[in-house]
A = this chain, B = another copy of it.
Amino acid sequence: MDSIKVGLLGFGVVGSGVVKVLQKNSAEIEKRVGRKIELAAIADLDLKTDRGVKVDKKILTTDGFAVCADPQIDIIVETVGGTGIAAKFIETALSHGKHVVTANKALLSEKGEPLFALAEKQGKLLLFEAAVGGAIPIVRTLKTDLASEKIEKIFGILNGTCNFILTKLANEGGEFAEVLADAQKRGFAEADPTLDIEGGDTAHKIALLASIAFGAKIDFSKIHIEGITKLSAADFEFARRLNRKIKLIAIAKKENGEIEIRVNPTLLPIESPLAKIDGVTNAIAVHGQNLGQIILSGPGAGSLPTATAVVGDIIEAARGSEIPSRGVPERLLQKFPIKKIDAIESEFYLRFAVKDVAGVIRDISNVLAKYELSIRDILQLDLNEFKREVPLVILLHKNSELLVRKAVEEINQLKCVNGKTVVLRVEE
């Protein structure tokens, strides 16, 4: 039988990984697909740099659009990234009747709707296993194994850069800026780390997972996103004493026809499975009515793990899969209301910087009582190595964000409180 022909757009870290995986495992892949997978074209503006991989010069081109339109090509792999030209490439490829495989979570979560619609109209697949959790098989698991389940909640550590930084701050101390600089030096953080450390990348990923898990169209702009940049050494010290770890957690829940979706630093009990996920590893917990909880973990990024997922998608397309790209036909995806952050209830960690004067706890607890916020734990430590002020931590029982925020605003006006209060969420 004829080989399946793949056109690769972008010959960078992931793209060159894809070439390596296709070359190294070609015999295994052919066995599993029943046909040869042939890399027929590679498009990149830079054709000079050595990618540590041998390819026939004849398949190299700088014209990505020509590859997308090439009638010989069956599957386009987009590893260009970004939400600009990548969208045009994918649109062109789909319009020319090709399946598309991508790891581009920013594009799919922010501007994916017309592309998914076009794919379905064309009867083609737009696959993105590599967009979330690198080689962790979460996307396909939601579309296949868990197609029989009503998923209630997804809870994940989805960004390796953040988890590396948080692990280091927890284990070795130090302040955020130093550890970030170290992560950058070691290649675990980008030169511009904004998308990672401010939580945007994590939000892209949870949006895609929620879409499949709940059969929903997710309006990305409505996701509540907090990053990890406001955490300080004191928070890690308090977390340790509270037997907790701070992780950047993405949560998506569906309850009573509404979706709750957010990204925020969260204090987890140290014995909880996600608290034990350290370094650049990612992990995703899925809760369902019938299955209880499953957890998938592994390398969340990296050239070869990501490429393994991309080639897994190429194989799915080559095998002629009939599974819709997001698990449910596009016309059946629903637009559930997204809960406003004000209305979301959780437990809270409040760290106040207080003056060392009498009556502080009385004044703060007065305000909390006014909003009917009940205190679960209270902890004041003489951590003057961290700050001029005395840090005071209060853990609140489950309550709505709105009430907590109002109380904190009022407390911040008290004379005995200096600076801004740190508000973190707590999950069991």
* Chain A residues in the interface with B (C-beta under 8 A): 17, 20-21, 24-25, 28-29, 31-34, 129, 134-137, 140-141, 143-150, 215, 273, 276, 288-299, 302, 304-305, 307-309, 311-312, 314-316, 319-324, 327-329, 332
User: What distance in Å separates the Cβ of A172 from its nearest Cβ neighbour in chain B?
Assistant: 17
Q: Establish whether residues B308 and A135, one from each chain, have CB atoms under 8 Å apart when the complex forms.
A: no
Q: Establish whether residues B276 and A315, one from each chain, have CB atoms under 8 Å apart when the complex forms.
A: no
User: What distance in Å separates the Cβ of A421 from its nearest Cβ neighbour in chain B?
Assistant: 35
In the complex formed, the residue of B with least CB distance to A295 is B297
Partner among B147, B273, B295, B314 whose Cβ is within 8 Å of the Cβ of A312: B147
* CB-CB under 8 A for A144 and B136, given A25-B149, A297-B294: no
Q: Establish whether residues A304 and B291, one from each chain, have CB atoms under 8 Å apart when the complex forms.
A: yes
* CB-CB under 8 A for A144 and B24, given A135-B294, A292-B135: no
Q: Establish whether residues B288 and A308, one from each chain, have CB atoms under 8 Å apart when the complex forms.
A: yes
Q: Which 10 A-B pairs have the closest CB atoms?
A: A294-B298, A148-B311, A137-B145, A290-B304, A135-B291, A145-B312, A32-B147, A137-B141, A291-B308, A291-B305
Q: Establish whether residues A148 and B29, one from each chain, have CB atoms under 8 Å apart when the complex forms.
A: yes
Q: Establish whether residues B292 and A146, one from each chain, have CB atoms under 8 Å apart when the complex forms.
A: no
* CB-CB under 8 A for A144 and B147, given A135-B294, A136-B294: no
Q: Establish whether residues B146 and A137, one from each chain, have CB atoms under 8 Å apart when the complex forms.
A: yes
Q: Establish whether residues B145 and A140, one from each chain, have CB atoms under 8 Å apart when the complex forms.
A: yes
State the CA gap A28–B316 with chains docked (Å): 23
Residues of B with C-beta under 8 A to A308: 145-146, 148-149, 288, 290-291
User: What distance in Å separates the Cβ of A302 from its nearest Cβ neighbour in chain B?
Assistant: 8
Q: Establish whether residues B28 and A150, one from each chain, have CB atoms under 8 Å apart when the complex forms.
A: yes
Q: Establish whether residues B319 and A292, one from each chain, have CB atoms under 8 Å apart when the complex forms.
A: no
Residues of B with C-beta under 8 A to A144: 137, 140, 144, 312, 315-316
State the CA gap A305–B145 with chains docked (Å): 11
In the complex, the count of this chain's copies comes to 2
In the complex formed, the residue of B with least CB distance to A327 is B32
Residues of B with C-beta under 8 A to A288: 135, 308
State the CA gap A384–B233 with chains docked (Å): 48
* A–B complex contacts, Cβ < 8 Å, 10 sampled: A25-B150, A28-B148, A32-B215, A32-B327, A137-B144, A144-B312, A145-B309, A290-B307, A292-B299, A293-B298
Q: Establish whether residues A215 and B292, one from each chain, have CB atoms under 8 Å apart when the complex forms.
A: no
State the CA gap A150–B308 with chains docked (Å): 10
Q: Establish whether residues B31 and A328, one from each chain, have CB atoms under 8 Å apart when the complex forms.
A: yes
Q: Establish whether residues A129 and B145, one from each chain, have CB atoms under 8 Å apart when the complex forms.
A: yes
User: What distance in Å separates the Cβ of A299 from its nearest Cβ neighbour in chain B?
Assistant: 5
Residues of B with C-beta under 8 A to A31: 215, 328-329, 332
In the complex formed, the residue of B with least CB distance to A328 is B31
Residues of B with C-beta under 8 A to A25: 148-150, 289-290
State the CA gap A20–B150 with chains docked (Å): 13
Q: Establish whether residues B34 and A329, one from each chain, have CB atoms under 8 Å apart when the complex forms.
A: yes
State the CA gap A305–B292 with chains docked (Å): 7
Q: Establish whether residues B319 and A305, one from each chain, have CB atoms under 8 Å apart when the complex forms.
A: no
State the CA gap A143–B308 with chains docked (Å): 13
Q: Establish whether residues B323 and A319, one from each chain, have CB atoms under 8 Å apart when the complex forms.
A: yes
Q: Establish whether residues A295 and B294, one from each chain, have CB atoms under 8 Å apart when the complex forms.
A: no
Residues of B with C-beta under 8 A to A321: 321-322
Partner among B140, B293, B296, B322 whose Cβ is within 8 Å of the Cβ of A319: B322
State the CA gap A25–B152 with chains docked (Å): 13
State the CA gap A386–B42 with chains docked (Å): 68
* CB-CB under 8 A for A296 and B294, given A144-B144, A328-B32: yes
State the CA gap A225–B210 with chains docked (Å): 42
Residues of B with C-beta under 8 A to A33: 147
In the complex formed, the residue of B with least CB distance to A148 is B311
In the complex formed, the residue of B with least CB distance to A289 is B24
State the CA gap A117–B235 with chains docked (Å): 60
